Amino acid sequence: MDSEKHVISLLVDNRTGVLSRVVGLFGRRGFNIDSLTVSATDHPEVSRITILVHGDAAILRQIILQTDRLEETREVFALESADSLFRELLLLKVEADASNRGELREIGSIYKAKIIDLSPGSMVFELTGEPEKIDAFLKMMEGYKVLEMCRTGITALERGGLHPHTSPI
């Protein structure tokens, strides 16, 4: 089986329990969610759920079919990487002292990470970017003691103007 990453965007009614129903559907069908974000849209009655899953084309079709059947789903569509923008946010706290602060600053600078907190024993970096950039930054930080980490799920939008599936509600 050829397993690929797929980013799925759902526009759903902004109501209590919608996220639970979507996640429950994935669980019942045996689909594993690799990343999940939920956010407001420019319409107060609509929320956007962005889900990253692994699977082949048949699994992607089945996921889209199943989520489209939910009463609260207004639109569901896969986002193609060539036509979309994907971003994540990382907050990373690493142990830092006088001996390694310079090295850590340099690595942060290369990846355009902001230092948002500096304490006598630690530094906190904030990094926003494509998932691959976040992964590369974390790989560079493997040689340092990570104290805490928080990484958001993927969030995404299609490039260009208004697309048919995101037309005004």
Same domain, 96 and 71: no
Q: How far apart are CA 32 and CA 55, in angstroms?
A: 9
Instruction: Region of 9 please: left (phi>0), alpha (psi -120 to 50) or beta.
Output: beta
Same domain, 72 and 103: no
Residue 55 lies in a domain: yes
Q: How far apart are CA 169 and CA 123, in angstroms?
A: 44
Q: pLDDT digit of tens for each residue in the chain (169 aa)? A: 467 899 999 999 999 999 999 999 988 888 889 999 999 899 999 999 999 998 888 888 999 999 999 999 999 999 998 999 999 999 999 999 999 999 999 999 999 999 999 999 999 999 999 999 999 999 999 999 999 999 999 999 999 876 666 655 5
Q: Which of 62, 79, 96 is the last residue of a domain?
A: 79
Residue 169 lies in a domain: no
Q: Cβ(169)–Cβ(45) under 8 Å?
A: yes
Domains held by the chain: number: 2
| Domain span including residue 140 | 85-155
Amino acid at 92: L
Same domain, 90 and 60: no
